[in-house]
Structure 1
Amino acid sequence: MQFTVDHTDLAAAVSYAARSLPTRPSVPVLAGLLLHASDNTLRINGFDYEVSSDTTIPATVTENGRALVSGRLLSDIAATVRGAVHLELTGSRMILRAGSARFTLPTLPLEEYPSLPAPGTPSGTLPGPAFAEAVTQVAGAVGKDDAVPVLAGLQLRHDQEAGTVTLAATDRYRFAVRTLPWKNCELAADRSALAPGKALLDAAKAVADDATVDLTLPSASGANGLFTVRSLHSTTTLRALEGELPKYQGLFPTEFNHTATVEIAALKTAVQRVALVATRQSPIRLTFTADSTLRLEAGTSDDAQAIDDVDTNLDGDELTIAFNPGFLLDGLSALTTEAAEFQFTTSTKPAVLRGHGSDDQALRYLLMPVRLTN
């Protein structure tokens, strides 16, 4: 095998494929990236039995062939070399040259590398930027508790009547939901499945600049329990998680006693300042007053205290409510509007955070309050 590629193309492709490499591979060959050069194309694959990646870049191929090399090492090298990169397989060694630099890499046994799963038939098509934005917004609520694996998932639900796919995630303290319309949908009925949240986020970020993305939900023809995220030159498969998230439709209130609008940038800055003295036992308290002021407070009389004010527009009676500052900042950062809208029923029930003026398909962020004690 012998070929030449541009360093920019190689770095991007190796970085994409290396996303699926396991930190602690169960077998040594899973730490490798599979390189396949033919027909003036270099194809790079990574696989850990749960996630697979497949990407292609143009190459000047003088000798077709395949090789399996250390993915982390190749990724580090590809990120540092410049200009044309020449790779040649010599026996059990891969020789990489770029400018004055020369690397000799050992190869891994090809015969031990598992076959990649076949991607399923596309369920529908989404714009790459919109898909990446939606996954990023919702992924902030994915759980990190290893004791409850289902909460590490990001749920995708196809609504046949509406022609939409809805993304949802929760860690029991907040619930994020975002809906997208999609085209060319080939599904004949409602369908719901749970993808590994972090892996789906990585896959979505990788296709953020692609005009369109084909998405396959498990149970579609040929999917075999796999999600597939496919763009023009890259494909990621994700093995679906077992179980399902709690039903969120009944968790979001439909009637509210208080609604407040706040400029996001000003509120985020104030939360970050006040949070400097906040602890797990002392969350941030938000008091929405009738004189168009939102007062943020944290700390106790025995410890450090902080107070800050921002402007707000309140519809309803005055209200004091408390939130975990990290969860509140996650929700504010996920919004794409200039102003946030808080919707409350009471100070002890979940609040809804959304972009001011946004529609029902935009991000809705349900946030559990922290009960205040005297």
Structure 2
Amino acid sequence: MTEKTITEAKCLFSIARDSLLASLKNVSGVVEPSQVMQILSYVKLSGQGNHVTIMASNSEVEVETSARLFAESKDAFSLALPCRKLMDICKLLPESSVIEFVLKDQWVEVRAKDANFKLSSLPSQSFPLLPRLEVLHQIEIPEDVLKLSIEKSCFSMAYQDARFFLNGLLFECLDKKVNCVATDGHRLSWANAALLGSSVQGTSQSIIPRKTVIELTRLLRATDAAVHISLAQHAIEIRAGHFIMRSNLIEGKYPNYTKLVPKDVSAAATVEVQALKLALGRVAILANEKFKGAKFYFSQGQLKIVGRNFDQEEAVSQLPIGYEGSDREVAFNIGYVLDVLSAVETDEVVFQFSEKMQGVLLEQPGSDAVAYVIMPLTL
């Protein structure tokens, strides 16, 4: 008769449900359940004393955060548990719950009042970690400034473009400033901001992948706390008060975006943002469903927008503008213009035209913090 070994249950740590759920939400954005590697749908929980560190990774981006434990843990612990299941458990427990994590017979039991869950775990030592950075540059920037600069520019990133370097955001540091630039070849967004501090001598360019940029917009908060950014040749690390993110960078040379920005302006139109949004909304009803293009007719004191579809249906909308220059006809993708209007913070936007270049420059009056270039359509 074989003797059966019974493993004594061991409490690893206990934590308030609200603290754990908030931390899981911070890191869960990089978790991808469809990954071939099962452990990438897990989170790593490790710690000792009063805090637990929670980390998630998709092998290209990793995010970690920490939470305070309900009671001090005397022994060090490290385990990997399925992220989505753990989040679902937390969501269905009362807000004031205290959760205990107990190791028993190679399983992890998640215990709370009137509820007990037995979860499978994986060895935490097999959790993938990105290589540590060989830091070349370090910069500091207010969190709200970084968040705003990324949000004002990232919508122009390409998506699954064969020119892989366009599937991300250019993060360019120079002269104590940072430029956030994105383009998909049809439009360009550019935002700049002052740094709190920088070790960059000259110019430093990094291309941050789309996935990392999207996670940053979700994680960054509207506070003036300093964010510390470390730049390496092939990776970046962002340290904020409530998270640490590490990511690989896109290798390749970003195009010289300054060549796309019109320099010699020959005509300019000042348009009220809300009025233009309403006009575009009306025209979009009958615009071509695939291209969503419309023709803009600029003339003294008036802008007329015309949209047509394959059925020869037509929508026309007019609004007053301030315009200096000869009458002009240009076609735009309605969605591209609406993206810009949603990003600007002023009541008006200025369209600037150059005879030498195809791109049309859109800016906020009296501000050089952001700029947008939209390439006209051929309709």
- Kept in 2, the 8 Å contact 1:263–1:312? The answer is yes
1:199 aligns with 2:209: no
Cα RMSD (Å) of the superposition? 2.2
1:365 aligns with 2:375: no
Q: Deviations over 1:281-302 (max 9, x none)?
A: 5611111221x22211101584
- Kept in 2, the 8 Å contact 1:120–1:216? The answer is no
- Secondary structure at the counterpart of residue 146 of structure 2: helix
Which has the higher Rg, Structure 1 or Structure 2? 2
- Mapping for residues 245-264 of structure 1, pairs under 5 Å: 245-264=254-273
TM-score (norm 2): 0.88
Q: CA deviation at 1:18?
A: 1.3
1:183 counterpart residue number:
196
Match of residue 88, structure 2, among 76, 86, 93: 76
1:341 aligns with 2:353: no
Q: CA deviation at 1:61?
A: 3.4
* C-alpha distance in 1 between matches for 2:57 and 2:117: 24
* C-alpha distance in 2 between matches for 1:152 and 1:302: 35
The one-letter code matched in structure 2 to 1:129 is D
Q: CA deviation at 1:60?
A: 1.9
- Kept in 2, the 8 Å contact 1:274–1:298? The answer is yes
- Kept in 1, the 8 Å contact 2:63–2:244? The answer is yes
* C-alpha distance in 1 between matches for 2:317 and 2:327: 17
1:158 counterpart residue number:
173
Q: CA deviation at 1:146?
A: 3.9
* C-alpha distance in 2 between matches for 1:80 and 1:181: 44
The one-letter code matched in structure 1 to 2:193 is L
Could you say if the C-alpha distance between residues 104 and 263 of structure 1 is closer, same or farther in structure 2, counting changes exceeding 3 Å?
farther
Could you say if the C-alpha distance between residues 49 and 308 of structure 1 is closer, same or farther in structure 2, counting changes exceeding 3 Å?
same
* C-alpha distance in 2 between matches for 1:101 and 1:329: 49
Task: Say which is worse superposed, 142-151 or 349-358, in terms of deviation.
Answer: 142-151
- Secondary structure at the counterpart of residue 13 of structure 1: helix
1:4 counterpart residue number:
14
The one-letter code matched in structure 2 to 1:283 is G
Q: CA deviation at 1:131?
A: 0.6
- Secondary structure at the counterpart of residue 56 of structure 2: strand
The one-letter code matched in structure 1 to 2:244 is T
- Kept in 1, the 8 Å contact 2:49–2:72? The answer is no
* C-alpha distance in 2 between matches for 1:71 and 1:336: 38
* C-alpha distance in 2 between matches for 1:260 and 1:358: 16
Q: CA deviation at 1:23?
A: 4.4
Q: CA deviation at 1:277?
A: 1.5
* C-alpha distance in 1 between matches for 2:125 and 2:263: 58
Task: Say which is worse superposed, 336-345 or 107-116, in terms of deviation.
Answer: 107-116
1:222 counterpart residue number:
none
Task: Say which is worse superposed, 227-236 or 93-102, in terms of deviation.
Answer: 93-102
Q: CA deviation at 1:29?
A: 1.2
Match of residue 141, structure 1, among 139, 156, 159: 156
- Kept in 1, the 8 Å contact 2:101–2:109? The answer is yes
Segments of 5+ residues of structure 2 without an aligned counterpart are: 1-10
* C-alpha distance in 2 between matches for 1:94 and 1:260: 65
* C-alpha distance in 2 between matches for 1:100 and 1:313: 68
* C-alpha distance in 2 between matches for 1:312 and 1:10: 53
TM-score (norm 1): 0.90
Give the paired residue count.
Answer: 362
Task: Say which is worse superposed, 166-175 or 8-17, in terms of deviation.
Answer: 8-17
Q: CA deviation at 1:247?
A: 0.3
- Kept in 2, the 8 Å contact 1:168–1:175? The answer is yes
1:213 counterpart residue number:
227
- Secondary structure at the counterpart of residue 317 of structure 2: strand
* C-alpha distance in 2 between matches for 1:177 and 1:60: 45
Match of residue 174, structure 1, among 180, 183, 187: 187
- Secondary structure at the counterpart of residue 19 of structure 1: helix
2:246 counterpart residue number:
237
- Kept in 2, the 8 Å contact 1:194–1:240? The answer is yes
* C-alpha distance in 2 between matches for 1:339 and 1:4: 54
1:286 aligns with 2:300: no
- Secondary structure at the counterpart of residue 260 of structure 2: coil
1:311 counterpart residue number:
320
Q: CA deviation at 1:152?
A: 0.4
- Kept in 1, the 8 Å contact 2:12–2:103? The answer is no
The one-letter code matched in structure 2 to 1:194 is I
Q: CA deviation at 1:242?
A: 1.1
2:119 counterpart residue number:
105
Task: Say which is worse superposed, 279-288 or 167-176, in terms of deviation.
Answer: 279-288
1:30 counterpart residue number:
40
Could you say if the C-alpha distance between residues 300 and 197 of structure 1 is closer, same or farther in structure 2, counting changes exceeding 3 Å?
closer
Q: CA deviation at 1:116?
A: 4.6
Could you say if the C-alpha distance between residues 300 and 6 of structure 1 is closer, same or farther in structure 2, counting changes exceeding 3 Å?
same
Structure 1 vs Structure 2: percent identity of aligned residues? Answer: 24
- Kept in 1, the 8 Å contact 2:30–2:57? The answer is yes
